Amino acid sequence: MDIQGWRKAIGDMVRDHMASDTLTRYYSIRQTPLRAQVVIRELAHFVRHRRDCWAYVSGNCPEWSVKQKILQHEYGEVIKDEYSEHGHISLILKQGRSVGLGVDDILQAEPIPTTRATLYGWAWITREKPWLEGLAALTVTEWCNDDRLLMDQGGGNSTRMARRWIEDMGIKMKDMPNFEVHSQADEEHSDMFLPDLSSLATGALQERALQAVKESLELLTIYRAGIADAMERIPADD
């Protein structure tokens, strides 16, 4: 497939994922400070674990140009970029303050079981499977933040959750820096590896990469469902 073919193939899978019953339920849950705390704690686990997964893909990848892109991607996530002087985890820590969480409340929290299980899954895909499959599995999760692809469905993950926080808790966008940044930054990240998939994931590798996209979206569904369950166990008036 050419770049546009990959864009359509992945985009269609992401759109189906975001329109699923699980995701519809996830974005319909009324947000309260205690429920929002669950989102932030699990997101911190997810974001920190991405760093391990991208390192696994880089270590397995023999293509120098792809390694360079991964390092570019990770420099912005871990060190600094146009959105943050201290890496993107700092955005989550700042946003946590708006719902009553301190730094240790976030960084020292234990993941809920479904988060732990899905992180194990992504680690296995990126460490043990061929690097192109790991690359496909990781890049698709960022497509779920791409408003260009998803605006007619209500926007990407960050845009939808920001809207819930505004409507349900009255929190201003400036106090949600993680949502604000990732509704923009992941558009670039969505595009970043399409040329590599087009030129390198050919023949049988194409189908294996597409299967990795499918499996990664299934893991993301489990991750969101677990958070939805945890939020709904907290009474809406707490």
DSSP 36-86: HHHHHHHHHHHHHHHHHHHHHHHHH---HHHHHHHHHHHHHHHT--SS-SS
Residue carrying the six token digits 């770049």: 3
Compute the 3-state secondary structure of the chain and give helix, strand, coil in percent, each to the nearest 5: 80, 0, 20
> How does residue 238 score in pLDDT terms, banded at 50, 70 and 90?
low
The tens digit of pLDDT for each residue in 16-71 reads 999 999 999 999 999 999 999 999 999 999 999 999 999 999 999 999 999 999 99
Give the pTM: 0.93
DSSP helix/strand/coil, 156: coil
Query: What is the mean pLDDT of the segment spanning 71-75?
Result: 83
Does 2 score more than 80 pLDDT? yes
Does 82 score more than 80 pLDDT? no
Domains of the chain and CATH, by start: 3-24+32-231 (1.20.910.10)
Give burial (CB, 10 Å; 0-12/13-18/19+) of 210. buried
Distance between CA 43 and CA 28 in Å, rounded?
A: 18
* Count of CA atoms in the C-beta half-sphere (13 A) of 207: 2
Does 96 score more than 90 pLDDT? yes
> How does residue 192 score in pLDDT terms, banded at 50, 70 and 90?
confident
Distance between CA 197 and CA 205 in Å, rounded?
A: 9
Distance between CA 237 and CA 228 in Å, rounded?
A: 16
> How does residue 89 score in pLDDT terms, banded at 50, 70 and 90?
confident
Long-range contacts of 157-165 (CB under 8 A, 24+ apart): 157/18, 157/182, 158/182, 158/183, 158/186, 159/183, 160/27, 161/27, 161/31, 161/39, 164/27, 164/29, 164/30, 164/31, 165/31, 165/36
**What does the block give as tokens for 228?**
């939805």
Check residues 30 and 83 and name the one with the higher pLDDT. 30
Distance between CA 212 and CA 57 in Å, rounded?
A: 13
Residue carrying the six token digits 């699923």: 20
